[in-house]
């Protein structure tokens, strides 16, 4: 099973992200490049990719993800459209996080501490920083400049949402694109007080 922890966009942020996707689809430089666009229902901000996990480990991970998170709710904002990698053939089109990075880093550290002991490989230490819009397939190296210029030209007014929960998803890959099945969800903002003797 391929598992990841994610922060779901609210309805307004999802609609704004879909609008950016629509504008990107109309960019001439992207018309001749095969892009697998993320379906609206799959848009999310990955908190931590956990990788391939055997079924025996999935249940303990779901229980761990279902425990309330100590981090307080916070606001994330997205603003700039970008392409990765920064040079060579473009592979991923995304919206970068412009506000909430410090809170994301702290929540990511909590996710690593919570899930790390349940995994056979360490969780990626890099905190999250984007929402993926689409993945470019078979983009020629020569198209990189045109694609990057087109994406840089997408004016994206900052928008965001209030992050108040974390979800654990299973990603199922298929020829038509991935589908995500929620396995657990828990709220942010649980403060656990130490017992007073």
* Dist. CA 105–CA 175, nearest whole Å: 33
Nearest residue to 102 (alpha-carbon basis) of 121, 76, 140, 65 = 76
The angle subtended at Cα 43 by Cα 111 and Cα 116, nearest 5°, is 15
**Catalytic status, residue 44:** yes
Active-site residue identified among 8, 20, 44, 46: 44
**Catalytic status, residue 71:** no
Active-site residue identified among 82, 130, 147, 161: 130
Nearest residue to 151 (alpha-carbon basis) of 101, 90, 78 = 90
Q: What is the DSSP letter of 85?
A: S
Find out whether 166 and 188 touch, Cβ atoms under 8 Å: yes
Give the catalytic positions in this structure. 44, 130
């Amino acid at each position: 099973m391929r598992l990841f922890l994610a922060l779901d966009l609210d309805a307004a942020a999802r609609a704004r992200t879909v609008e950016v996707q629509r504008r990107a689809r109309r960019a001439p430089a992207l018309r001749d490049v095969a892009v697998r666009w993320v379906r609206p229902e799959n848009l999310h901000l990955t908190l931590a990719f956990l990788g391939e996990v055997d079924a025996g480990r999935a249940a303990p991970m779901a229980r761990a993800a279902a425990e309330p998170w100590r981090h307080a709710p916070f606001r994330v904002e997205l603003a700039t459209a970008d392409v990765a990698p920064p040079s060579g053939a473009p592979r991923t089109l995304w919206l970068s996080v412009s506000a909430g990075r410090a809170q994301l880093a702290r929540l990511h550290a909590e996710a690593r501490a919570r899930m790390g002991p349940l995994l056979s490989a360490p969780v990626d230490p890099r905190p999250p920083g984007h929402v993926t819009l689409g993945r470019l397939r078979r983009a020629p190296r020569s198209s990189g400049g045109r694609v990057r210029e087109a994406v840089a030209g997408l004016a994206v007014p900052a928008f965001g949402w209030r992050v108040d929960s974390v979800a654990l998803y299973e990603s199922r890959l298929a020829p038509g694109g991935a589908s995500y099945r929620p396995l657990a969800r828990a709220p942010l903002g649980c403060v656990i007080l130490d017992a007073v003797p």
